[in-house]
Structure 1
Amino acid sequence: MERLLNLIPDGAWETAAKDGRWQGEVVADPTSAVVEIKLFAAQGGGRERFATFADVTSRSTRERELQCRHDELEFTYQRLAGTQQQLLQSEKMASIGQLAAGVAHEINNPVGYIQSNLATLQDYVSALFAMMADYADTVAGSGDTVTRAALDAKRERLDIDFITGDLPQLLEESREGIERVTKIVQDLKDFSRIGPDEPMRPSDLEKGLESTLNIVWNDLKYKVRVEKHYSALPLVECHASEINQVLMNLLINAGQSIQDRGTIALATGADDGEAWISISDSGCGMPREVVQRIFEPFYTTKPIGHGTGLGLALCYSIMAKHHGRIEVSSRLGTGSTFRVVLPVNQPDTQPVNHPLTEG
């Protein structure tokens, strides 16, 4: 009995005297048995005290096992939920890609008409201005002062000199605008060209990077200066649209990390059968504990409603599918660099999940 009484923790009787009872579990050395202790004390100044002891080792073991199973199921559920969300996100991006390709095709036809018509209109205007100049020279040399005075007055009233200077400029600006639209449409087509169900094909990563940069440029142009340090790249066997999606996520994240004004540096290179693209920003950077978790599904440092935490997880999944990896280096307050590395030729083996590589 004395050995059992020695198991009662310090302060337990005081708690029982105050509250009427105390209950807890302790481990009895050296047997490691789990003992449930219940203490009862009389209220109102009574001296009666009671204690019960029960061996609950098997129950405690079962509870621990159940808790372990619960934790495993919770972890599996979270992984399945993350996988489901990534699949939904992939399907959504595939649908957006198909929509973008269709819209680009529909836009291309009228844009082509406008571009052709503007070029023809520029030729017509040049011919008309040349003819008007000839008429003006003819009238000036005719000696008909009345007609010349009337034409000069009308020319001044209609501000013909301004029109002849401004109209070619308007046409040129319109032509440049159409060329810009044509470039954006082509970039949309390039961005969404290859679907995930199609075989991987040799692709121009630099062209994909430029197309993706053009698509997200509206989000960057007001606060970001872009530096480009490109090296010659071989064609890389991949799903171009999926790699473009990775680059788009990284470019948008780089822009969002810059608060006021900053720089994004783009670089490309190839060595040892691999091609790489690096995206460096002069933004806020990340501490090590954040870097270690950024590819986890649903993990985000953004305010609620400003991010799902799936963007980088999807990037990680795409890179694993391509037998590639994303290398990350970051310093808090200095900026971050994400390096996308892909094999030039896909191996025959099944893809594996590469661990996150920190620089």
Structure 2
Amino acid sequence: MQERGIVTLGRFARIVSDASGKHDVLALLADALAEHVACDAVAVYSLAADGKLRLAAARGEGAAAEIEVDLEDVGELAERVLRACGDDYTGHVQRPLVAGAALYGAVVLLRKRGGEPKLELADGLVDLAAMALGTAAHVEQLERQFAELRAQQEMLARTEKLRALGQMAAGISHDLKNILNPLSLHLQVIAMAMDRGKTDDAKSSIAEMKGTLQRGVQTIERLRDFSRQQKETKGELVDLDALAREAAAIGKARAASGSGRVPRIREELSAPRQVWAIGGEIVSALVNLVVNAIDAMAGAEKAGTITLRSGEDEGGSWIEVSDDGPGMPAEVAKRVFEPFFTTKGQEGTGLGLAMVYATMQRHGGSVTLDTAPDRGTTFRLRLPAASPLSGR
């Protein structure tokens, strides 16, 4: 093959590698053959999914005749094309478009009287086009497989969402039952007390009802906080130490209102760099952790200590809530972030730590737990320097 032919093959290889699909490859092949291999007409046929060869591209007078050939009759293709193109054409050459073990079509070159086409160059162009067709077919197969995989993933995601909704519905049903049953009982007590003129008993039951209703409101608020999506919400630069002090103040008031020994709440804050966050959500998360620590140490022989610490590392800032309480066994620690998992019996909703986890996920951060029986518990909230809530 002459140097010009080699250059032609190189240029065609580059062009065909950028083709967007099978039809583009076949059209480029027809152009190259008509221009470079000294033939008078070119007909390029593509093998369809139904096993028939159909015209995909044609160059030259009469070459665009619509001919359809079954795969088993592919050997007759050139003769049928020659007859359809008229008496001006006296010679023909047929080449298959084959890559690996796959047939993608066929090429027919037509000549008028005299001369021979440049078959070596034609074979090179046909081979390059066939390889491009093989690559395109492989890409199409991968795209189909990817689409099938994505559909399966979406189906699994829908199934998982239904499972999660079922779990949440069961938890809501359980919590509402815990709220409604005491209310019903208190209403009965009030009715009997009023019949007997015992207003003090009625007032006591009313006070109990208020407390029960308040727990119901808190449950609903936590469900809302856990389930809401706030992708559109933008945060602001916040001082973690200020948020920690706010949470500590709320925790101290909560501890003082309870019965039994009051744990000490102290702060070891180190002024870490500011981070992007929704301050109210971080305070709520910290209060949840502080209240959990207070509850964990309730009934202890001596008042314990809850410590809020802050710091920073290479990628962001963090804040910890630690206690020197009883700690958690491994089987409890691995489930604490599950919605509706609680160790507090009917007093617990199992949503507090799940809400903390959801808050940190929404902020692009993380929450980690370090605990063991008789070693206390430490939760660390870590917020990245580059948060999805930064609005940047």
TM-score normalised by L of structure 2: 0.41
Larger Rg: 2
